[in-house]
Chains A and B, each alone.
Chain A
Amino acid sequence: MDYIPLLFGTIEVAVIFLFGCVGEIFYEKSGHLNLGIPGIVCVGGAGGVFGTFLMMNLNPDMPGFVVLLVAMLMSVVFSCALGGIYSFLTITFRCNQNVTGLALSIFGNGFTSFVLNQFILPRENASTLLSIAGQKIFCASLPFAKDLGFFGQVFLNHGFLVYFGLVVAILSSILLFRTKIGLNLRAVGEDPATADAVGIPVIKYKYIFNFLGAAIAGFAGTAYIMNYMNGIIGASVSADLEAFGWLSVALVIFTLWRPHLSILGSLIFGFLYIAPSYASVLFPGVTFTFYGKELLNLIPYVVTIVVLIITSIVGKKNVQAPAALGKPYFREDR
């Protein structure tokens, strides 16, 4: 039985969840519940597309790393711009985070669809250039990967963004749990008043890590469009981006606000998410009724709930959200 496409696909999809999840973890660790991650994932994707198109349009033979760099840069610009609105409204203006986030998601989806379908894709050659960039640059993998058997084809055959995502997750975990900055950030998220009293610049930390979260989450969009979909862009892609964004927000809780666990969590969820398409591989010889096969779609959500229940029963205090999550910090209150 050929499990390679299933496992390969798992990693490709998991990385999209991973970016969104790690991005939201930074938001939540700084005390901000950002329900606008779906919108940020969308515009980040739009930015990645924009950057890629910009470079490819200038010169279709542009060196790969230049295209990659500019695409990621534009992804950061777009996602930080939208994230900036959220941060400004919720940090400086102390507006309610949930409403701001929801508005962000609504806006981000529409804006991305607008940008892609009105400004980028209609341009001459745009979709072809993006498709070429996607396959040749973003999905460019180690040349010998395919020949290295099972391991090579499953693990070494991915594009740059996949490994970048893995590195980002690991570095984020180190930053959060092994550095002083991370400790300060966690303090800000748990009890900003005390953090302020100890001299941590609360507002500065919030802003910086909000933007970091936005940038990382934006890569989820770029990873979906340019890596997973190989730069082949359909008109309704913003709907898919938003859907992935919502699942990423859920995964934050699933993986207990720990980026290293997010790697595992995204892999498990990603596997279960695409498994129904591989029913013939996982259940060889079995044919389902059409409605029976539909029930396979339940599995990722049921498993998430089961894991959630288990971790809350078995876990200790450290499975909870940051204590000051969702509350605006007003210095004069203390």
Chain B
Amino acid sequence: MKKGLKSLAVLAVSVLSLAGCGGETGLTNTGSAKTKVKVGLITLHDSNSTYDKNFIDAMTSVCEKKGVELIVKSGIAEETVCYDTAADLADQGCNLVFADSFGHEEHMIKAAREFPDVQFAHATGTQSKQVNLKNFHNAFASIYEGRYLAGVTAGLKIVELKKAGKLEAKNFDDDGNVKIGYVGAYTYAEVISGYTSYYLGVKSIIDETEDIPGVVMDVTFTGSWYDETKEKESANNLISRGAAVISQHADSMGAPSACETAGVPNVSYNGSTASRCPNTFLVSSKINWAPYYEYLIDSVANGTEIDTEYSGTIDTDSVQLTELGTACAAGTAEKIAEVKAKLKAGTLHVFDTSKFTVTKAEGKNTGATVDANGHLTAYLADIDGDFAGETNVIENGVFEESKLPEYRSAPYFDVQIDGINLLDVNFGD
């Protein structure tokens, strides 16, 4: 019965594949000694989502530059359909398949096991070291550095606003610290790492300022990567509570529009909102996937091994800032360049444990070891992705985020540092 069904299927396929002879055309690589590369890209939503658009645009331009065929499959959910699609791309002759969303990982791994000759790469994933497959790789970038620089921009803007007397009483808390706000989506490391590095960037500027003692940040979570109404109302709430600057880690125009209406500066993510919010857009950080894609395609073409984990940096141009908005304070570009140089040179670290304090409490920061001054001396981060911390990532007084080859590319900073106030959600049980 099964054989009969199978042959029926084959018959149907062969009859109908005569119709399918139309096939796909595309530019081909004319290099002789190299393998012809065919790339498949799997995205969670489509080009209308700023998150996925980032990947699609980068891959499309790299493939065009390299003269390589590309198949884009958008709208692929984080379920078995991802495995189906990855396998289907492999069936179609793709020798490189890339997926862009966290939940795609295990399905890509399943496909990788089945197609050992096809390279599977995945963004934001955490399992490549654990599964140890020659053809499965994780990639991310040290976006926390980009967030830090964005924070510096925000800090400079706050200083400018204070000097111009544009800040009101509600923008400061009882201790005189200036307030800022952040709209996040989910309560996990990628988001926490993002907002903490942003906060530290702001803090680095505020700490150098004499008339503002410090900065505190309210963080609220929407529970969704895209929910325009929720993000807008959350931003409105933060603004009414006195946030002087708002940033976000979510996909819609909700928070930027709230800021533009209220005249509150906004730091965005994944794309510039300058054209829509000309009066309040400061800067946006984003990951530039082109360097990684070029690396992948070159490796496949030359038959060289691809690193299990890849973490792009400012050096590789994987971490970028968009053009500065017109609302930025004077001297921002110079200061950014200065800080960037220090980050590159290694004289400045984003997660320098001496620059922030941590409080331990019941269910809070359980993996942390703090000294008498509240600085971290050790922290057990969850590197293997099993939701329990096990690896100490503090080296020489620095929390080494996204560091390779020791740890992993996807963020694992989930420390709750002082100065960041979780507005309506706690991380405990």
Given contacts A280-B220, A293-B424, contact A128 B48 (CB under 8 A): no
The interface residues of chain A, by DSSP majority, are classed as: helix
CA gap between A153 and B331 in the complex, in Å: 37
B220 partner residues in chain A, CB cutoff 8 A:
277, 280
B304 interface hit (Cβ, 8 Å): no
B135 interface hit (Cβ, 8 Å): no
Closest to A10 in B: B233
Contact yes or no, A236 B429, CB < 8 A: no
A176 to chain B, nearest CB (A): 30
B239 partner residues in chain A, CB cutoff 8 A:
5
A25 to chain B, nearest CB (A): 23
Q: Which of B47, B230, B253, B424 contacts A288 (CB 8 A)?
A: B424
B229 interface hit (Cβ, 8 Å): yes
B277 partner residues in chain A, CB cutoff 8 A:
131, 232
Contact yes or no, A280 B48, CB < 8 A: no
The number of residues on chain B lying at the interface, defined by a beta carbon within 8 Å of a beta carbon of chain A, is: 45
Residues of B211-252 at the interface with A, using a CB-CB cut-off of 8 Å, are 220-223, 226, 228-230, 232-234, 236-237, 239-241, 251-252
Closest to A277 in B: B233
CA gap between A91 and B121 in the complex, in Å: 54
Which among A117, A125, A234 has the greatest number of chain B C-beta atoms within 10 A? A234
Closest to B278 in A: A128
CA gap between A278 and B222 in the complex, in Å: 11
B48 partner residues in chain A, CB cutoff 8 A:
113, 117, 234-236
CA gap between A292 and B275 in the complex, in Å: 37
Residues of A179-228 at the interface with B, using a CB-CB cut-off of 8 Å, are 228
Question: CB-CB contacts of A250-275 with B at 8 A, as 1s and 0s?
Answer: 00000000000000000000000110
The number of residues on chain A lying at the interface, defined by a beta carbon within 8 Å of a beta carbon of chain B, is: 43
A5 to chain B, nearest CB (A): 4
Q: How many A-B residue pairs have CB under 8 A?
A: 119
Q: Which of B226, B228, B240 contacts A2 (CB 8 A)?
A: B240
**Partner-contacting stretch, out of B16-24, B255-263, B347-355, B382-390:** B255-263
CA gap between A118 and B260 in the complex, in Å: 25
B257 partner residues in chain A, CB cutoff 8 A:
229-230, 232
Contact yes or no, A277 B252, CB < 8 A: no
B residues contacting A by CB (< 8 A) are 45, 47-50, 53, 186-187, 220-223, 226, 228-230, 232-234, 236-237, 239-241, 251-254, 256-257, 260-261, 273, 275-278, 422-429
Q: A239-B226, A288-B426 are in contact. List 20 more A-B contacts (CB 8 A).
A: A2-B240, A4-B240, A5-B240, A131-B275, A135-B260, A139-B261, A233-B253, A234-B50, A236-B45, A236-B226, A277-B220, A277-B222, A277-B230, A277-B234, A277-B237, A287-B422, A287-B424, A289-B426, A290-B187, A290-B221
10 closest residue pairs by CB, A with B: A277-B233, A235-B48, A234-B253, A232-B257, A279-B424, A287-B426, A127-B275, A5-B240, A236-B48, A5-B236
